[in-house]
Amino acid sequence: MKNFCLFLYLISFMAACDSKTTSENQAKQQSGDVTLVIHGGAGTIRKENMSPEKEAAYHAAMKQALNVGYAILDEGGTSVDAVIAAIKVMEDSPLFNAGRGAVFTNEGKNELDASIMDGRTLMAGAVAGVTNVKNPITAAHAVMTKSQHVMLTGRGAEQFAEEQGLEIVDPSYFFDSTRYKHLLRLQEKEKNSGGLSVVQLSEDPFVKGSKFGTVGAVALDKSGNIAAGTSTGGMTNKRYGRVGDAPIIGAGTYANNATCGISATGWGEYFIRLSVAHDIAAMMEYAHLSIDEAADSVIMKKLTTLGGDGGVVGLDQQGNITMKFNSDGMYRGYIKERGAAKTFIYKDDP
């Protein structure tokens, strides 16, 4: 009987050791896969139209966002927290069409949209048309975690943000003279020409001919969980409360641990029609494509055929990255280890 008990003890001890070793190996493997990828908008971004000073500023801002977000992941924080932190950096920068750098509506206002999704739970939150929330991505997160809803809009979203104790600012906080002058130029052209196309109305004043300035981030944490988020000021001179793809789950943002996380930037109407972010995940799930293959099929084929342009960034649970776009450029970057952020702007960047 004693020998039998000893035998059972040895078996249990060996099983515990194997379990501990397996857990440690899995944790080590997951830690090595920690990844953050971001974008700051896509469009006609060409080197000949960019000053060296402006180019350096964009690289610096993107690296700051990557480093801030990655620090959270490296210290064991969640992918959701990393996405929020990275996007807040870009929302606080006037370089990007989000938060403080948001473009102006036809009425001379800044109307902001944002969304976030947790790939572990499939919970999501979004806000649209807010005018006084300093960091709209935090309002989207509050909707996801502190309400029964997915999307809130306008004054209701602002009231909810206030009740949740988020930082509220006077709308003048978002005023940027360069963005405002661009609105006035477009409205003058509109007046003289009898109306401009949507493409012309959506140009970005910081880069000649550029149309899109949405920001976004996708993160994979040490627990293997994916999160994605997107934030934007929309289109210059937009009317009638227009909302693009950024706050729409499945169009501009999607995350699912089983497939991938995606954040999009581009001509929102087309991204909505194609449900771009979810379509990439669906092609991974049903067609068994890699994340880069799926993104290529949706962005370079489906979106291009329909006549839309823009791009996405994303990653899967193994930390594989995609940064696919069909425009001349996209502000983008990724980081897989501390101090090693990589950022890119132009189509031919390595």
Catalytic residues, by residue number, are 214
Task: Give Cβ neighbours of residue 281 (< 8 Å, ≥ 6 apart).
Answer: 254, 256, 259, 260, 262, 294
Amino acid at 141: H
Distance CA 193, CA 181 (A): 18
Distance CA 310, CA 319 (A): 23
Cα–Cα distance list, 48 to 45, 55, 58, 209, 245 (Å): 9, 11, 15, 12, 30
Distance CA 323, CA 304 (A): 16
Distance CA 193, CA 163 (A): 45
